[in-house]
Structure 1
């Protein structure tokens, strides 16, 4: 696997790579500083800081993987989605500052950490959103250049059929949404398991089980749309509605006066992840319905890469076979 050898493709890859390296470096310093200074304890506040930092770092690594995937596939929609995702990471970085300050304050009153640790870490926590903001601006500019570059690739792949291009665009949006759904669902679940739920409870067990189930659902959602399996896609859409109900229920519990204290250590970031996930699920359901509507209308050969590659090989082989008799007749 390789990236298309163009200036803007490599520019997009380099911008995201530098952003990831710098951000992870700063996050690692902040994490190490807290771990060295903090005294051992099992309070939720002590889990807040490493959980936020680890999840934020994973977000950039996952984004880097999606960048490689988008550029390799020349997926314009996913490139645009990555710019929007970077804005989400920017917002989460800003939320992270407030949450970590509250966690440090709690630990300070528990005599588990010195207050000067916050003074040492605050400048770096503020610098991180600034770097992500700059990265977002650069990514957006390069994505605008890539749009024209990749549009020609889609034109060659799909031809000038406007209806077919719209169907292919809907398919690309759906696949990209599945990839972003995974990250935000996983981010919400990790925060819930580490900061909120107690091990051994039924809710904890159900949440742990939901992780592999979600992965299977997302993989099946991609597989069914490529095979144009209507029954399978209907089942996936119903499961998406169930996921929407689950996140609405979680939001209700997070702000219900009786259960709200359980969620206080991670209320703001969990609310952020839950709302973003609900928006993504809603858009995913809409695009899934549009994909089902486009079934059996000629799109399947265009998205079946293996078949297309086999056809190209057969065409090349037939071309070579037809050239041999011609040369023999000339000789």
Structure 2
């Protein structure tokens, strides 16, 4: 098992862990306060689902981030380390968006008299406003914590870039074209890992928060979850195997996924002026944020997938077959030569279908 062995890898791990604990603690308090203030009549309404959904996504998001941190440091992958900083930026945007969405949900529940009166307060809209005032400082603190973590992680990522420079590329030959192909491969694999969170995050929100969807749309949305997982696994598998036909199928599925998310965006805003306006309003901003980031990621992923396919059968396959990046001290153990030399041995090639 990988263990951080330098001050910068330890720093990156500790900052990520503290950021996750602090953010989830604040979100947990908001969730508890919200749930204990709801009346029985509010259970099951669209507005009552907003905070549990946000909390669930933050729990999943930060736990997934910790897994990605471990994976990036284990592989000494600077591309993924930089991607984690951008991932934090996405969480920051999401945390900022949730403030206004929760305010709208709480005030709506207050107007519907679905919120218990706060101590010394009145029922109805006054209860909703009182609840919102009690939750607001903690909700504002969440993006502040994430922003501070983002700044610290970005600084440490800069330090790790220098530290990992030798380890990442020393098992690639001095051919600059081969190094560029390897960089393209690393970017593509990192994109798949971040695609997974944003694909799943959008789908879960849509399933939980948006009600009154047709049976066909509901089941199609459910089916998108396992399809997404299989798609990403196959994308990594066929890239490692350098299968042109497999990648052509994957790229066509990427375009289908792009059409799916654009359809969801259009449908969501087309419904804003119709009879389904209230179904989307509690989560429209957060769904739009996730959909926009996902569409952007898909476009970049499609470009990188085409680029990776173009690089097939040009000498990269043996180098990416070795999953574990060697430690710097390995250069004295006979496994690899000096930087710029051809690797002596690549170890056993694995064919497991995983995103690495």
Q: TM-score, normalised by structure 2?
A: 0.84
Aligned to 1:242: 256
* 1:39 Cα deviation from its structure 2 partner: 1.2
Aligned to 1:326: none
C-alpha distance in structure 2 between counterparts of 1:224 and 1:183, whole Å: 21
Are residues 1:6 and 2:11 paired?
Answer: no
Aligned to 2:85: 83
- C-alpha offsets along residues 18-48 of structure 1, whole Å, 9 cap, x if unaligned? 0001111111111111111111222100111
Aligned to 1:62: 64
User: Is 1:186–1:211's contact at 8 Å kept on the other side of the alignment?
Assistant: yes
| Alignment root-mean-square deviation, CA | 2.0
User: Is 1:301–1:307's contact at 8 Å kept on the other side of the alignment?
Assistant: no
Among 255, 261, 270, which residue is 2:287 paired with? Answer: 270
Question: SS of the counterpart of 1:298?
Answer: coil
Aligned to 1:148: 162
Are residues 1:184 and 2:198 paired?
Answer: yes
Aligned to 2:316: 299
* 1:161 Cα deviation from its structure 2 partner: 2.1
Which protein is richer in helix relative to its size? 1
Aligned to 2:28: 28
Residues 163/3 of structure 1: CA separation in 2 closer, same or farther (3 Å cut): farther
Are residues 1:214 and 2:209 paired?
Answer: no
* 1:17 Cα deviation from its structure 2 partner: 0.6
C-alpha distance in structure 1 between counterparts of 2:296 and 2:213, whole Å: 29
* 1:200 Cα deviation from its structure 2 partner: 6.9
Aligned to 2:179: 165
User: Is 1:253–1:260's contact at 8 Å kept on the other side of the alignment?
Assistant: no
User: Is 1:12–1:143's contact at 8 Å kept on the other side of the alignment?
Assistant: yes
Question: SS of the counterpart of 2:5?
Answer: coil
C-alpha distance in structure 2 between counterparts of 1:273 and 1:300, whole Å: 34
C-alpha distance in structure 2 between counterparts of 1:157 and 1:178, whole Å: 23
Q: TM-score, normalised by structure 1?
A: 0.90
C-alpha distance in structure 1 between counterparts of 2:198 and 2:290, whole Å: 6
* 1:306 Cα deviation from its structure 2 partner: 6.3
C-alpha distance in structure 2 between counterparts of 1:265 and 1:84, whole Å: 26
Residues 200/250 of structure 1: CA separation in 2 closer, same or farther (3 Å cut): closer
C-alpha distance in structure 2 between counterparts of 1:106 and 1:244, whole Å: 33
Aligned to 1:327: none
C-alpha distance in structure 1 between counterparts of 2:185 and 2:223, whole Å: 29
C-alpha distance in structure 1 between counterparts of 2:49 and 2:18, whole Å: 28
Provide the aligned length of Structure 1 versus Structure 2. 313
Residues 33/308 of structure 1: CA separation in 2 closer, same or farther (3 Å cut): closer
Question: SS of the counterpart of 1:295?
Answer: coil
Among 130, 133, 137, which residue is 1:119 paired with? Answer: 133
Question: SS of the counterpart of 2:114?
Answer: coil
Are residues 1:227 and 2:227 paired?
Answer: no
User: Is 2:26–2:142's contact at 8 Å kept on the other side of the alignment?
Assistant: yes
Residues 26/306 of structure 1: CA separation in 2 closer, same or farther (3 Å cut): closer
Unaligned runs of 5+ in 1: 320-331
Among 188, 196, 199, which residue is 2:210 paired with? Answer: 196
Unaligned runs of 5+ in 2: 116-126, 336-343, 345-356
